[in-house]
Structure 1
Amino acid sequence: MSGNVNREYFDKYMVPCYSPAPFIPVKAAGSRVWDQQGKEYIDLAGGIAVNSLGHSNPVLAQALKDQIDKLWHMANGFTNEPVLTLAQKLVNATFADKVFFCNSGAEANEAALKLARKYARDRFGADKSEIIAFKNAFHGRTLFTVTVGGQPKYSADFAPLPQDITHLPYNDLNAVAAQISDRTCAVIVEPVIGEGGVLPADPAFLQGLRELCDKHNATLIFDEVQTGAGRLGTLYAYQHYGVVPDLLTSAKGLGGGFPIGAMLAKEAWAQVFQPGTHGTTFGGNPLAATVANSVLDQLDETLLGGVAERHQLIVARLEALNAQHGLFTAIRGKGLLIGAELAEPLRGKAKTLTNLAAEEGLIALIAGPDVLRFAPALNIPLEDIEEAFVRLERAVVRILG
């Protein structure tokens, strides 16, 4: 890559739907990242919960290198060994009977929502089409998924939008009970709302959704794009909560940095997608499936068991910062998906704080204007967490003046 490439290229050549940081990362290993100038950063963002096993994981890299010399792509008129192995692993490890592979979380959710509508139509008729979703949720950027997501700021500019979608307050089972009916074809829910502020579901809320869906023959969809692949300390969040959905969507951490998405389905739902009803060109290609197989192989009891220890350390450091500086009104989350809601006078300044943190050598996320979000690698070294919060405190001191 040319050494002359700089951040100005983005403004000159790229569609401006992002506002990337002023520095350009060029190398990374584990939870450390280096930019063009050689400056080092500690990564507590994990590519928004994507780099589940850290950057340049050597086991993933070797698996990919081995597959590169074998088979890259054949499209879905054929199958391949890595994707069949991956499907078997996911079925054996979860409630699912079948798996559909795609390239992203949005595509996985699109598939699940389409499948839920078709399942209801085939079994109960065209009038059973309502989808219940939740305010502040995020399910992707396709027109269907961005409409189902409960944040109008992402969908309002693209009207007319898909119809028969109802948004209710999250964690409000009474609101769902009052709305759901035999017209409802599906309820889609994030076990922990990510983009909308890092809000964990109450266990009784998810259990109640399961019971209401059973009562009204509605499909229960868990969007685990952000909570899956070990993020909460179990392979998927439904296992943490003990509530089994009918469909589950996965992406992000499943590929450890390589693009892949998956929809996990019970048998009766899977059979609705017969040849010609849905598809994708790149989904389940051998390279992506190979990397995801290697990710699953590394998500063993030891690694997943370490998630709780890292959660406790991050929360302890946030609480210490709060005690010293009075920064937060709430610290919440599960596993390694953690949010800290800013108090006055920092309300609305989450992005400003993460920008200062980057100047101090720390990469962190936001979840809206008021919440810091942390989603580091599941295997981030404890010493990296300690050093990250030294750097975060320097940013805090700067923003407080």
Structure 2
Amino acid sequence: MQTRLHPLMPASAGTARHVRSLHFGRAESGRKAYIQASLHADEVPPMLVAQALRERLLALEAAGLIAGEIVLLPMANPIGLSQEMQGVLCGRFDMSTGINFNRNYRHLSAELIPLLEPLLGADPQENRRLIRTTCLALLAAKPAQTQTENLKLILQTLAMDADIVLDLHCDTQAVMHVYTGTPLAEAAKPLARLLGAQALLLSRASGDDPFDETIARIWWELAEHFGPGRPVPLACFAATVELRGELQVEPALALQDARALLEFLRQAGHIDGPVDADLAALAPLCEATPLEGVEPITAPHNGVLVFRKQPGDWLSAGEVVAEVIDPLTDQRSLLQTTVSGRLFARVSRPYASAGMRVCKVAGSVAFRSGKLLSL
């Protein structure tokens, strides 16, 4: 294992932070997988999974079973990890700007197209090499202006030339679920099955340029632009993995998830060794559904939030999910889903404010557009 420290520009005088990446296997192989934990720094379960991954990757490397290079960031966001206010860790948003740490990454397609027009030819593998080289050059050419921009640039640069990119998160109260691009649906099914995901959510463009999407989306957009005469392969599978709820910091679950992620890498050819027979026997727990089909259910007014359904429950259209009770006016409102699907995530706050998203149901029919992710 090789450890690399990536310094961040100082946020203020007298301060210093860095990002730590762990590199296993052989970079010269030309194959690369990238896994990062807790880009939202207050989402702790991914950090524990990363520790389980580190221990198993060390053993695999010692046994000579890592076929390419695997890069692991055990903690992707030291800025967010430092944002503690009166005992509460505030790691989802940059407190200096209010911007989500998983939004506003550089989407490079429009910049890439004019640069690649004179370069791409009939060889898809050479095209892949040229695209990756050009992507890295574009990222290197525009320096960051703030520490958070610097962090995002480091993460995007580390992942930009990877074949597989897994961004490990968690929700507040949730079952395992996965987000990925619609063109990557077939490649995502083994990952969802191995993890026991109860929702696999697909979108071509979810809005606000989250990390994983800006790494993978260029490949299908460039393929569509250049057409079959200058073929562009889907050279990167990228996904956001939501490791259940924020309080599920459990060693047994972390080991289970690490085992599933490594088996996914083995099936993709990044790790050598025999198939994990127990994982191979697992059946999928969900079908892929469009992110545009997710119904965010909101509170119509302030009040005590009383859930009637649990994460993982299957709901039929019209079912009551929760009730909001205003203790000042005694107003009571039943919250119902208008779609049939899986309740895959809900808030942990027992008091709702007016307009607050309180839960999400994965329906099978697309009906939304625009910005599809929560803040």
**TM (normalized to structure 2)?**
0.27
Considering fraction of residues, name the structure with more helix.
1
Higher relative contact order (CA 8 A, sep 6+): 1
Considering fraction of residues, name the structure with more strand.
2
